[in-house]
Structure 1
Amino acid sequence: MSPEPTTPLISVDELAVRLQDPGPVVLADVRWTLGGPPGQPEYEAGHLPGAHWVDLEHELSGPVTGAGGRHPLPAADVLAAALSRIGVRTEVTVVVYDAATSLAAARLWWLLVDAGHPDVRVLDGGFAAWQRAGHPVETGPDRGAPAGDFVPRPGQLGRVDATGLADLLGSGTPVVDVRAAERFTGATEPYDPVAGHIPGAVNRPSPQNQTPEGRFRPAAEIAERFAGLDEPVLYCGSGITAAHTLLALRSAGLDGRIYPGSWSDWVSDASRPVATGPA
């Protein structure tokens, strides 16, 4: 079994060297854009050699039912089937990536770590960084892989649901909203029926954890952004970006918990309180 990595990130040059080693690595391409278009055509137009396509909407999310938000967590058997399909094994490193920002890749990273996989890395800068570095690219459909033997056991990482978060409000536990500032204040809300934020939350937009090229900022800078927010509960619109911020925290040696349903789940019950304006 591979030892738990000291950082969840891997650079393109480090990965290029790793792929020259005869030891196996599972590469998962999770390119995705909120609202579409689907990322599979991008994958087929060019991806890391040997990488397997993973569909965030259908394999890494469950059906929208009202509760659970816009991207509910997938059923355990759906996740298990997806991981088996791409050949995930317990003793094999899994490297996940997306187009550039690691936003979608963070979803699979979180699901894998939460399910108990010991060695999951995210390609810092994604496919764009791989291309800029001049590393080889493969085209065409997914070539498939021998079925993996990893059995996911979700629930290994800290998380809270709406009831648990409501109980925490006012307790001193930091709650961090990682959406854009205009969504936090309630000035605009393009996706959900109610604008605003959870009362008592502070705003730390997730994109500010990265450079314009999609690389995560140094650990010291991320730690400074979250100074005084010890092991916060993280939420976003539907849970995807919250995982991205947890990835940033882990890259800086920090930790937190995710509210997977996030804002879209919180506002599905009109009895839950909503705040607007600055924190």
Structure 2
Amino acid sequence: MKSQELISLPDIGQRLADKILEIIETGGLWKLDEFQTDNDITTMNLFGQVWGTGPAAAKKWFDQGFRTLDDLRTKAKLTHNQIIGLKYYDEFLERIPREEVSEIEKVVSDAVQVLRPGVIIQTCGSYRRGKASCGDVDVLISHPDGVSHEYLFYPLVDGLKLCGFLTDDLMYSEKVDEEPGSHMKYCGVCLLPGEGRKHRRLDIIIVPYQEYACALLYFTGSTLFNRSMRHLADGMNLYLSQHRLNTGIIRNGKTKINLGTRLPTPTEESIFNYLNLPYRPPHERDH
């Protein structure tokens, strides 16, 4: 097998292709061989579970001689997100019971309905796929009139902070090629009122209604299911993302020269129809 053959597969770039070939040809990966003991691997896993930390940061800390979370707290140079990840390390690792996710959704829903009656609010991810517990909570918000979602983001987030529900910020993001407030995402930490409550990871995503179905599909997941849907769309000369489904794509290899024309996607079912697929409900989207 050659590198070029691997790169032709979906989501495989040159660096990943090189690693796959190394494993095929040698039976191992030299970077992994650097970690000779179970303790080394345990330490890397420990660091890798700090929210906001990738493999490169975990490896850097290891190379600097850090071996415990206290080493990171007292000696490492941390980003804001890594500080928060360490602050709530144990709580973030715990799965969130489905009933608690419903409570979190209700707090957000009650707050947003006061600001803009008639909004659509849907908790996505493994919750929508019917799982008994979740790693975090992804709440998707839109409005059927196509305009009432605008300028909702900051009043909603600020209100949830004032009441003490949102305790820590992780990230704000805005889709820069649209009007302010049109497609925005907040990543943060929430805490339900009452004794014994735990800090939970919460994402709030507000999207225009014309993007709602594609966003709902994307944020529901699973990751493997989304990748398969995008790969199928590519094979039909379509382009599927969390924002849109486009037709008439012009490509030069993997590079898109022209994104073509947006197709109307009023529902998730419409996306499946364009891809000539029978509709698959959320609980059947784990693979």
Structure with the larger helix share: 2
* TM-score, length of structure 1 as denominator length: 0.27
Q: Which has the higher contact order (CA 8 A, sep 6+)?
A: 1
